[in-house]
Chain A
Amino acid sequence: MTEANKITRNRPGNVHLSLNVNGENLQVSVAPYKTLLEVLREDLVLTGTKHGCELGECGTCTVLVNGQAVLSCLLLALECEDVEIETIEGMAKDRKLHPLQQAFAEHGGSQCGYCTGGMLMSAKALLDSQPQPDGAQIREALSGNLCRCTGYQQIIDSVKAAAATMRDGATSPGGDTP
């Protein structure tokens, strides 16, 4: 038997999955070893979910599963049927930005944009469960997302501003840090 045959024999074939992503039911056939991250990016071409390590060490690939922030790089796609998956692509509804997105744009919460999707997902999980967080709660909720550009301050400002907008139901008064 050749080396190649030794490696590839008895391999499981592709699996068919039915996934609920951003409210849509999507059918996809994928290699069984794939994580949710790979299926989102490669099979569903939802490339808004980024990756920085694929080992659970940076938070870049954060998505929401049943409303909870999780790392798509450490979740087998095989285990993602029967759950609701939310990605950055689903954040703006009816072509209207989520207040968090608006605030990130206005307050410098996004520079290179690479951590932004994951950061917004963590922030959304926070505001969905705790609409008026204080600074410490924001830090804690986003402490699993690394950013190399911003120094985090404008991200925290952005989340505060979004929370204010959602409270007032009006335009943000501004989230400058004192």
Chain B
Amino acid sequence: MTGANRFSVIGKRRVRVDALSKITGQTQFADDIVLPRMLFCKLLRSSLPHAEIESVDVSAARDYPGVYLVLTGQDFPVEYGILPVSQDERPLCRDKVLFVGDPVAAVIARDEQTAGEALGLIDIRYRPLPTIATVREALLPTDTPLQEYAEEANIHRRLAYSFGDVEAALKEADYVFDDTFFYEGSTHLALEQHAAVGVADPDGRVTLWSSTQCPHYVHRAMAKTLEMPAAHIRVIACPNGGGFGGKTDPFNHEIVVAKASLMLGRPVKICLTREEVFYCHRGRHPVTMRLRTGVTRDGKLTGMHLQTLLDGGAYGSYGVASTFYTAVLQPLTYHLPRYSYQACRVFTNKPPCGPKRGHGTPQPRFGQEIQLDKIAEKLQLDPAEFRLGIVEKPNTLTANYLKIGTNGLKQCIERVVTRSDWKNKHRKLPTGQGVGLACSAYMTGAGTAIYWNKMPHSGVQIKLDRSGLITVYCGATEAGQGSDDVLVGLVAEVLGIEPIDIKCVTGDTDLTPVDLGSYSSRVTLMMGNAAIQAAGRARDLIAGAVAERLEIPVDHLGFAEGRVFDVGDPSTGMTFCEAVICAEEKHGTLVSTGSYAPPKAVAKFPGAGVGPSPTYSFSAAVVEVEVDTETGIIEISCVTIAHDIGRALNPVLAEGQIIGSVYMGIGEALMEEHTTRRLAPRLSDALVHRNPSMLDYKSLTMHDMPQVHVEIIENPDPNGPFGAKEAGQGPLLPIMPAIANAVYDAVGVRIDELPITPEKVLKALNLKASGREPRIGPKRFPEIDWPESVFVLPPWEGGDGTASNKPERKRAAKMHNMDKVATS
């Protein structure tokens, strides 16, 4: 562990600061809030997948005993959405419903039972519209697109980028591998169902308590839809009972209860049922993808062209970002001299997709890591050695101008190869047993905010006073990942005090400085850097006063073990509390602040803002499986994973994040499916969620989870707080392809689509037995009318990060290519 001994808090296996309230049941989640005179809200949801709302009659519901208020789409004239470019949601649908589960009306009553009964009295007349159930249907021309801003048909967004002349690079290659994959959608399934409480103040202001990962974004959406000044709205993020990206959008129910409380002057609570949570979704997009990769005989990549097609569901959500993310992080792991991609997201009559752990990146990583396995086999290379030969360097730019700082991927691969005994297992185990390896990289915080602004991404304030208590304020949200612990741990480290002497107040827009939220693995790094800055400034305030009192230079002072002292003579000094008093005497009331904004994107081409991050984490995993050849049933025997985390601030939590990621990855690989069911079209227009329950949406139980061996690679990154990088998302990414590769090693069949079910394995085994290609997966990528690519020359071809589709620039590129061909 690098330099950990110079720390007193960082790097130690500590009990997280919120553990005791959690293990005693004291933590207040949103649904645990009980307020005097509180009323309860339930939503009526569409039973049709696509329809115009002709009329809504709520009179019977309004008259029902115990009902206080009924709201409909007419009560919410303003649209909202997480991204400025897709303001396409309403708290309650007004004109159209776009999927089964889209909310249409709300009843607020004395209790949930009454509200639920009154929902049954609301009479809605619909005019059905054609059901768009598949991406293929969404690509067809239509008069009734789900969203008016669709580019054409039901196409939400198409992207096309080319970093160098990829077609030429493929021509140069000794081999071009052309593979198509499918990655099924999945959902977050946080155990806590979304809940929110709206509380109107007598002075016309409103407070919302909610299970949200992003109180700041909820705050903005509320100001917009309630048409109120943001300053009159307070959003408090309760600790989330799991998030995984599922609570990062502002949600209709949050706005509804806030509005209702304002209208009634009483607190209004809503807690969604599990089925409703499936309708909120915003989970993993189902993605069909095609990768064409050029490779030389000696195992170097020459270029890659990636195409992705995302089934977005009914609304925009984070969709444009998701679409970028199915492509932009691809060049991080291995050196790709040239890279191009085309990505397309469509609208369908399904719950909207959005960001789930790994946001958009697990899908192409799945395709790429399986393709690399196929390449290694063809080139007769060991998959680990092959990857070691192409891993991207640290401190470099990628073809698409992502700036990589530290990069521990090589160490990750080496570590899992050793720990798993890879060399004695790969292609050497008896039939039915196999090992698979895969790698990945992920960002540590998105370099750009959801909306364009020049302000900090995270702010921290510290209040100190004569009691000796330190209170740390930050808008970050505790979603289980341990952000409160990171915040307190870092401040404790800087001030040389114990975590118990620090109180943190987080996720409260009235009290805490803005932090953008718990998404994109940004909190540890961004909040952490802001916290270190704020704590450093507090320390300076104290040090100045103490140095004066002790009559020694400031730089002779040490802060440790709850004391401030002369490092040359530790007995000269005072308790931390006395030191704060000193400072309060000298400076008056004490407060310090810190803020953090990530470095600007290196490149200037349009869209260059998606992908850059202050630093990237890297992971490698080896999965060992047993495949039963009679049934196709797969058992994961064990997983070895190495993760380049920069520095583990609290190893217990870091390991927890890594093992939890592995768990969720296994689920996605083997069983988690967020899908819909189309009934026979000649009999019905219905398109319903296939499995909206904890029983039918399969997630691993304790019996299904294998042993995970965790290797933490610590290589402190200068951009991270004490060198830390993310751990909550990256370690999920290698798991799915590693399992697919292990299945291949075990029984020689390629399952190029997720989930890998026993049925698919058995089918592939039968294909193999009958001498046909032992592969299950999509046959071809659909035809899409792509726009012209934004063309950017890679850094090593003389590019400066600007786009140029001007002929002369293209010609220059071509000339450069010819030079390269000539000289190579």
Contacts and interface: CB of A to CB of B under 8 A. Distances in A.
A and B touch in the complex (CB under 8 A): yes
Given A55-B694, A153-B705, A111 B481 contact: yes
Contact of A113 (B18, B656, B701): B18
Q: Report whether over half of chain A's contact residues are helix, strand or loop; otherwise say mixed.
A: loop
A25 B695 CA distance: 35
A47 B191 contact: no
B60 A3 contact: yes
A95 to B, nearest CB: 10
Contacts of A125: none
Contact of A97 (B24, B32, B113, B117): B24
B117 A50 contact: no
A75 interface: no
Interface in B651-700: 652-653, 655-656, 659-664, 693-695, 699
Contacts of B243: 112
B273 A148 contact: no
A29 interface: no
B659 A151 contact: yes
A62 interface: no
A155 B22 CA distance: 14
A153 B29 CA distance: 24
Contacts of A143: 701-703
Given A2-B63, A151-B708, A115 B191 contact: yes
Given A54-B273, A107-B652, A154-B659, A113 B27 contact: yes
Nearest to A158: B23
Contacts of A145: 702
In the complex, which of the residues B25, B193, B663, B703 has the most CB atoms of chain A within 10 Å of its own CB atom?
B25
Contacts of B63: 2, 4
| Residue from B16, B28, B653, B661 with most neighbouring chain A CB atoms (10 Å) | B16
A97 B703 CA distance: 28
B206 interface: no
B121 A150 contact: no
Interface stretch (B234-242, B330-338, B802-810): B234-242
Nearest to B20: A105
Nearest to B665: A151
B274 interface: yes
A44 B253 CA distance: 26
B187 to A, nearest CB: 11
Interface in A85-143: 87-89, 91-92, 97, 101, 104-117, 120, 139-140, 142-143
A32 B192 CA distance: 26
A48 B693 contact: no
B190 A148 contact: yes
B707 interface: yes
Interface string B105-122: 000000101000100010
A91 B48 CA distance: 47
B65 interface: yes
Contacts of B34: 42, 45, 47
A149 B13 CA distance: 19
Interface in A35-58: 41-42, 45-55, 57-58
Nearest to B271: A51
A55 B274 contact: yes
Contact of B23 (A49, A58, A97, A146): A97
A105 B189 CA distance: 24
Contact of A89 (B24, B191, B239, B244): B24
Contact of A112 (B23, B25, B479, B701): B479
B708 A153 contact: yes
A117 B32 CA distance: 14
Interface string A3-47: 110011000000000000000000000010100000001100111
B443 to A, nearest CB: 21
A108 B656 contact: yes
Contact of A114 (B121, B191, B659, B660): B191
Contacts of B694: 52-53, 55, 57-58, 146
Nearest to A107: B652
A147 interface: yes
B239 A52 contact: no
Given A148-B664, A151-B660, 17 more contacts: A47-B34, A48-B24, A53-B695, A58-B191, A89-B24, A91-B25, A105-B23, A106-B13, A111-B656, A112-B242, A112-B480, A113-B241, A146-B699, A148-B188, A149-B242, A149-B656, A150-B656
Nearest 5 CB-CB pairings of A with B: A48-B25, A112-B480, A113-B22, A114-B241, A151-B663
Interface of A: 2-4, 7-8, 31, 33, 41-42, 45-55, 57-58, 60, 87-89, 91-92, 97, 101, 104-117, 120, 139-140, 142-143, 145-156, 177
